Amino acid sequence: MKFDTPAGQNPIDQLKVVGKPTDRIDGKYKTTGTAPYAYERHDVVPNQAYGYVLGSGISKGRVRAIHVEDAKRAPGVLAVVTTLETPRLERGTMNTAYLFGGDAIQHYHQAIAVVVAETFEQARAAAFLVEVDYAAEAGKFDLAAEAKGAPPVPSDSGEGSGGDGEERVGDFEGAFAQAPVTLDETYTTADESHAMMEPHATVAAWDGDKLTLWTSNQMIAWGHGSIAKILGIPKANVRIDSPYVGGGFGGKLFVRADAVLAALGAKAAGRPVKVALTRPLIANNTTHRPATIQRVRIGATQDGTITAIAHESTSGNLPDGDPETAVSQTKLLYAGANRLTAMKLAHLDLPEGNAMRAPGEAPGLMVLEVAMDEMAEKLGLDPVAFRIRNDTQVDPQAPERPFSHRDLVGCLRLGADTFGWAKRNPRPGQVRDGQWLVGLGMAAAFRNNMVLKSGARVRLDGSGTVTVETDMTDVGTGSYTIIAQTAAEMMGLPLDKIVVRLGDSDFPVSSGSGGQFGANSSTAGVYAACVKLREAVAQRLGINSADAVFADGAVRAGNRAVPLGEAAAQGALSAEDTIEFGDLAKKQQQSTFGAHFVEVGVDADTAEIRVRRMLAVCAAGRILNPKSARSQVIGGMTMGTGAALMEELAVDTKRGFFANHDLAGYEVPVHADIPHQEVIFLDEVDPMSSPMKAKGVGELGICGVGAAVANAVYNATGIRVRDYPLTLDKFLERMPDAA
């Protein structure tokens, strides 16, 4: 199905199933420990051996020799595969660093060997018997030092943000010079780790030259093609299965070393092998969100109308890597005639920087929305009012392009009313509650809506059950449930008559999960397949499909009502289709909007910061399931709070690696850090987006929330810290004497 005209009335608009806050259909499996994740697929193939991955102990240079004799002699060891005996393997989709093969070390903990043994304990013990000789080389590890002279580089995050290395509208410099009120500040954000709870893990089994990988991956079709390319085998010989993914956040968009080394280990051992990256390896072996240095300049008239806005970001990456697209939202969020955005890229020899939840917008809004707060204060304007004053209904770089639907102002107003924003004291450092200095902060949320081609197969059987198959993944997003809701709505069935099967490369290719494009795109694909199935049903029953009404488990046409299962009495009916999106997204800008409001307390003695209240108001088209969508938003708010307050991969700039590479050293928020979180969805639809009239929402929650935290901290203390994370050490010297 081609989607190239705005959606009209369609069966989804009935909202009998779609749009309801349904409990997840996979909930009973997840809560009982019976949902199968990659490393625990004991049932899929017998005789699995265990692989243990070794990471490089240097950050840059060459491996001279790997001594494996002792390891090979160790009890239970079946095989040792080293990078030296393997030619450098091709890279898969979106890989920047090479995953395995050859003697070159690009980054710390790069995989250099896998030890395969009968048991995990034996593989782990033998791995420590491997000795490696290195020839270390000097590398570049310090972003601040390399930032000077970093050139502008175009980039596309692949997740809805990106652009040219430098983009200009009007005369920024001239307008900024003439603006009566200006701001020019530089901010930094830290390297961050996805730290998903399920480590990257794969079971690999060869059957002749055919390879099956039971793995944990967000993008099955990418992974499928990548594994074939990396291993140099035909795609037809590879199958990937990933029905449950224990968190990805962008870290499992692509094939990583676990999959490659499970496949190589299985080949070498001559039997199935399973590999999970150990937790201490993950931060440096895999990918991370790159740190940024961002400069924002805003010029405005006395009444608060922005006349000039510039946002420049510098980040680092390995050769062939991309810059963090941290300036993209600044092209679209606020009006202003004169504009400049730039992304600069420094070469660093740290591990690969790549997509992490809302790449671009997450770190970009952490900065832009603090700059807006600072500018509002300079103007003597309320931060909400300042943003409303500079709202735009068109793409400021191309005013002929309207937004398909934009209600940022509605989010801001409803949020301010609901949160009690009017009670905020605009003078910072004035409100005290016992030991706590209390402050309120807010920020706008913005994230582009992406739509990707997505396919599905649906099959109706004689019992009236519809089975949906698509290689879409559920990474915690609720895909199983919203896909079932979509099929149920389309076929007029209750949810318990829908079976959803996901994550298998034998199924039709979907959008996959990333960039908050998954929910809308994949359900639209299911919609398309169901349209075909409805036609097939009507044809089988001899009714005109235009007259057929699918409801209450039956098909009605005129006075005739036939139970749906009867259409498949003579044999199952199957239909497959793919939704393909035309150029609607080019004609009109599709984005999602929101507003974050946060209250923090800052300990008057120690400057410990604790979040006390949080509210997000979101405008993201039709909400397919308010329960799971709300969870996506609070999850983003939680991760964004971590980015604001604690998350930082600590770079050893001398040795070139992230030193705090485990979950004790890299702190993410725990229960005690997160208060009750409130989310309000504006009731809206966007027919430009898809037949579902939905948009992405999975990343909107993280966009802007960090700035709202930072602005609240400023309101509480009067201290503006422009270097994330906002840890107490950056406040202590400036804290007022404790009372």
Partner 1 sequence: MRSFTYERPGTPAEAAAAVARTPEAKFIAGGTNLLDLMKLQIETPAHLVDVNGLGLDRIEATPEGGLRIGALVRNTDLAADARVRKDYGVLSRALLAGASGQLRNKATTAGNLLQRTRCPYFYDTAQACNKRRPGSGCSALDGVSRQLAVIGGSDACIATHPGDMAVAMRVLDATVETVDAEGTARRIPIAEFHRLPGDEPEIDTTLKIGELITAVTLPRPVAGTHIYRKVRDRASYAYALVSVAAILGKDGTGHVAFGGVAHKPWRVEAAEADLPRGAKAVTETVFAGAKPTHENAYKLKLAERTLGAALNQARA
Partner 2 sequence: MSRRDRVADAPVMAKVGLTVNGQRRELDLDIRTSLLDAAREHLHLTGSKKGCDHGQCGACTMIVDGRRINACLTLAVMHQGSEITTIEGLGQPDNLHPMQAAFVKHDGYQCGYCTPGQICSGVAVLAEIEAGIPSHVTADLNAPIEVSAAEIRERMSGNICRCGAYSNIVEAMTAVAGRQA
Q: Distance between CA atoms of 358 and 503, rounded to whole angstroms?
A: 22
Are 297 and 184 in contact by the 8 Å Cβ rule? The answer is yes
Residue (of 20, 23, 26, 18) closest to 486 by Cα position: 18
Please state the closest distance from residue 677 (CB atom) to partner 2, in A. 4
The residue behind tokens 């519809």 is: 466
One of 51, 464, 478, 669 touching partner 1 (CB under 8 A):
669
Partner whose binding site includes residue 659, from partner 1, partner 2, none (CB under 5 to 8 Å by kind): partner 1
Partner whose binding site includes residue 660, from partner 2, partner 1, none (CB under 5 to 8 Å by kind): partner 1
Q: Residue 699 catalytic? A: yes
Q: Is 662 a binder of partner 1 (CB under 8 A)? A: yes
Are 305 and 181 in contact by the 8 Å Cβ rule? The answer is no
- Sheet containing 560-563, strands listed edge to edge, beginning at the edge strand earlier in sequence: 549-551, 554-557, 560-563
The β-bridge partners of 77 are 117
Nearer to partner 2, 71 or 416 (CB): 71
Binding mask 23-62 for partner 2 (x = CB under 8 A): xx-xxxxxxxxxxxx-xx-x--------------------
Please state the closest distance from residue 356 (CB atom) to partner 2, in A. 11
Partner whose binding site includes residue 163, from partner 2, partner 1, none (CB under 5 to 8 Å by kind): none
Query: What's the longest Cα–Cα distance across the chain?
Result: 84
Q: Is 603 a binder of partner 2 (CB under 8 A)? A: no
Helix (H, G, I), strand (E, B) or coil at 536: helix
Number of residues that bind partner 1 (CB under 8 A): 42
CA distances from 648 to 157, 289, 723 (A): 21, 10, 11
Burial of 509 by CB count in 10 Å (0-12 exposed, 13-18 middle, 19+ buried)? buried
Nearer to partner 1, 160 or 640 (CB): 640
Binding mask 101-120 for partner 2 (x = CB under 8 A): ------------------xx
Question: What part of residues 412-441 is at the interface with partner 1 (CB under 8 A)?
Answer: 435
CA distances from 57 to 101, 106, 116, 134, 653 (A): 16, 11, 20, 8, 15
Q: Distance between CA atoms of 392 and 390, rounded to whole angstroms?
A: 6
Q: Is 195 a binder of partner 2 (CB under 8 A)? A: yes
Q: Distance between CA atoms of 378 and 373, rounded to whole angstroms?
A: 9
Are 714 and 440 in contact by the 8 Å Cβ rule? The answer is no
Q: Is 728 a binder of partner 1 (CB under 8 A)? A: yes
Q: Is 12 a binder of partner 1 (CB under 8 A)? A: no
- Of 198, 369, 599, 699, the active-site residue reads 699
3-state helix, strand, coil in the chain (%, to 5): 30, 30, 45
Token pair belonging to 523: 């359900």
Q: Is 398 a binder of partner 1 (CB under 8 A)? A: no
Partner whose binding site includes residue 152, from partner 2, partner 1, none (CB under 5 to 8 Å by kind): none
Nearer to partner 2, 80 or 575 (CB): 80
Nearer to partner 2, 154 or 247 (CB): 247
Please state the closest distance from residue 492 (CB atom) to partner 1, in A. 48
Nearer to partner 2, 244 or 681 (CB): 244
Q: Distance between CA atoms of 157 and 355, rounded to whole angstroms?
A: 7
One of 138, 572, 670, 732 touching partner 2 (CB under 8 A):
670
Please state the closest distance from residue 354 (CB atom) to partner 1, in A. 23
One of 514, 635, 656, 696 touching partner 2 (CB under 8 A):
635
Residue (of 608, 600, 612, 640) closest to 728 by Cα position: 608
Number of residues that bind partner 2 (CB under 8 A): 73
Q: String of b and e for 144-159 (b: at least 16 CB within 10 Å)?
A: eebbeebebbebebbb
Q: Contact region for partner 1 (CB under 8 A) — 119-127, 213-221, 332-340, 380-388?
A: 119-127
* DSSP string of 316-342, one letter each residue: EESTT-----TTGGGGTSS--SEEEEE
Partner whose binding site includes residue 100, from partner 1, partner 2, none (CB under 5 to 8 Å by kind): none
Please state the closest distance from residue 42 (CB atom) to partner 2, in A. 5
Burial of 49 by CB count in 10 Å (0-12 exposed, 13-18 middle, 19+ buried)? buried
Q: Is 6 a binder of partner 2 (CB under 8 A)? A: no
Q: Is 634 a binder of partner 2 (CB under 8 A)? A: yes
State the sign of the Cα–Cα–Cα–Cα dihedral 466, 470, 476, 479: negative
Q: Is 199 a binder of partner 2 (CB under 8 A)? A: yes
Q: Is 300 a binder of partner 1 (CB under 8 A)? A: no
Angle 705-717/626-645 helices, nearest 10 degrees?
A: 50
Q: Contact region for partner 1 (CB under 8 A) — 165-173, 580-588, 625-633, 722-730?
A: 722-730
Amino acid at 216: S
Nearer to partner 1, 199 or 687 (CB): 199
Burial of 676 by CB count in 10 Å (0-12 exposed, 13-18 middle, 19+ buried)? exposed
One of 4, 23, 85, 121 touching partner 1 (CB under 8 A):
121
Please state the closest distance from residue 215 (CB atom) to partner 1, in A. 24
Give pairs for 196-199: CB < 8 Å, separation 24+: 196/246, 196/247, 196/248, 196/249, 196/251, 196/252, 197/246, 197/247, 198/37, 198/38, 198/245, 198/246, 198/247, 199/39, 199/258, 199/276, 199/277, 199/278, 199/279, 199/282
Q: Is 606 a binder of partner 2 (CB under 8 A)? A: no
Q: Is 516 a binder of partner 2 (CB under 8 A)? A: no
Nearer to partner 1, 66 or 379 (CB): 66
Partner whose binding site includes residue 733, from partner 1, partner 2, none (CB under 5 to 8 Å by kind): partner 1
Q: Is 608 a binder of partner 1 (CB under 8 A)? A: yes
Question: What part of residues 622-661 is at the interface with partner 1 (CB under 8 A)?
Answer: 645-646, 650-652, 654-655, 659-661
Q: Is 676 a binder of partner 2 (CB under 8 A)? A: yes
Q: Which residues bind partner 1 (CB under 8 A)?
A: 57-58, 121, 124-125, 128, 280, 435, 603, 605-606, 608, 610, 645-646, 650-652, 654-655, 659-662, 664-665, 667-673, 725, 727-729, 732-733, 735, 738-739
Residues designated as active site:
699
